[in-house]
Amino acid sequence: MIKLAADLHIHSCLSPCCDDDMTPNNLVNMAYVKRLEAIALTDHNTAKNLPAAKAVADARGLVFLPGIEVETREEVHVLTYFETVEQAMDFGEYIYKHLPDIENMPDFFGAQFALDENDAPIYEEKRMLLQAVTLSIEEVAAACRARGGVPVPAHINRASNSLLYNLGFIPPDLDFASVEVYKHSPIEGVDLSPYHVIYNSDAHRLQSISEAENHVFVREKSAAGILAFLREKK
Ligand SMILES: [Zn+2]
Ligand SMILES: [Zn+2]
């Protein structure tokens, strides 16, 4: 097994709540400076900054895992990971079809820009990304898996938008192999022994990106290798 220092939950400037300087180049370079070996970009309900972030991460020699953090109908956040940017983009289009057509208020929530690999704006998303889609957590998990992806419930112990807070338990029928635990919140009375537990930053600003202190264990140093780890039952 290869031990990879990873941060698999990072937002970019396309997420409305995120700092504008979380550009593809800035976030990848910060991860590089922090000696991370693998990162995932997981914007809220969109995949549109993945192509640029993947190009920049490849150039830096970081393993890049394409992702989206979906907010389900139950207002639970689920990280969805894919082997390729194309699979993630396809899933992103599916998610977008189920995202209510409510306009973003850039002055209040922040602008939502997709950038190219030189951090130049290529698209402004006008629809509010930080809201629940109309799909249930079952539907999100199934659609992710149908595209070869792996769903991982996000920050399950946080006091909002989480499995334990919103639903009160980890539904066994959803068949999760991995869960993300938020380091800065307590977790009690939950048996995590059946799951791989991952810890990430959920960074919305550059300085919040993880130090090289959280790891995944892979057979292959690649996106496919990380997916296999997240998918494999303990
Ligand atoms: Zn979240
Ligand atoms: Zn997040």
For ligand 2, the distance from its centroid to the CA atom of residue 2, given in whole angstroms, is 26
- 119 CA to centre of ligand 1 in angstroms: 24
pLDDT band at 202 (very low <50, low <70, confident <90, very high): very high
pLDDT digits (tens, 9 = 90+) for 28-80: 999 999 999 999 999 999 999 999 999 999 999 999 999 999 999 999 999 99
Ligand nearest to the CA of 22: 2
Q: Give residue 231's pLDDT band: very low, low, confident or very high (50, 70, 90).
A: very high
CA distances from 199 to 85, 153, 184, 212 (A): 23, 12, 10, 11
How far is it, in rounded angstroms, from Cα 17 to Cα 108? Answer: 10
Average pLDDT, the chain: 97
Planar angle of CA 182, 212, 163, nearest 5 degrees: 15
Output the CA–CA distances (angstroms, integers) from residue 68 to 51, 173, 186, in the order listed: 13, 22, 25
Query: Which parts of the chain are beta strand (E)?
Result: 2-10, 38-44, 63-71, 77-81, 113-115, 121-124, 150-153, 178-180, 196-198, 215-218
**Radius of gyration of the chain from its Cα atoms, rounded to whole angstroms:** 16
Q: pTM for this one?
A: 0.98
pLDDT over 90 (residue 194): yes
Domain holding 120: CATH number?
3.20.20.140
Give me the sign of the Cα torsion angle 12, 13, 19, 22.
Answer: positive
The rounded percent of the chain whose pLDDT value lies above 90 is 95
Share of the chain above pLDDT 70, in %: 100
**Where does the pLDDT of residue 234 fall: very low under 50, low under 70, confident under 90, or very high at 90 and above?**
confident
Distance CA 220, CA 232 (A): 14
Pick the ligand that lies closest to the CA of residue 158: 1
Instruction: Report the number of distinct structural domains present in the chain.
Output: 1
Rounded to whole angstroms, the Cα distance separating 163 from 78 reads 9
Phi, psi of 104 (to 5 degrees): -70, 150
Q: Which numbered ligand comes closest to the C-alpha of 8?
A: 2
- As a whole number of angstroms, the distance between CA 11 and CA 37 comes to 17
Domain that holds residue 119: 2-231
What would the pLDDT profile of 211-228 be if each residue is shown by its tens digit?
999 999 999 999 999 999
Tell me the residue type at 95: I
- For residue 206, how many other CB atoms are within 10 A of its CB? 17
Q: pLDDT tens-digit profile of 78-123?
A: 999 999 999 999 999 999 999 999 999 999 989 999 999 999 999 9
Dist CA 232 CA 234 (whole Å): 6
Over 90: is that where the pLDDT of 174 sits? Answer: yes
Distance 11 CA to ligand 2 centre (A): 6
CB 170 within 8 A of CB 176: yes
pLDDT above 90: residue 151: yes
Q: Confidence class of residue 133 from pLDDT cuts 50, 70 and 90?
A: very high
List pLDDT tens digits, range 77-90: 999 999 999 999 99
How far is 43 from 48, CA to CA, in rounded Å?
A: 9
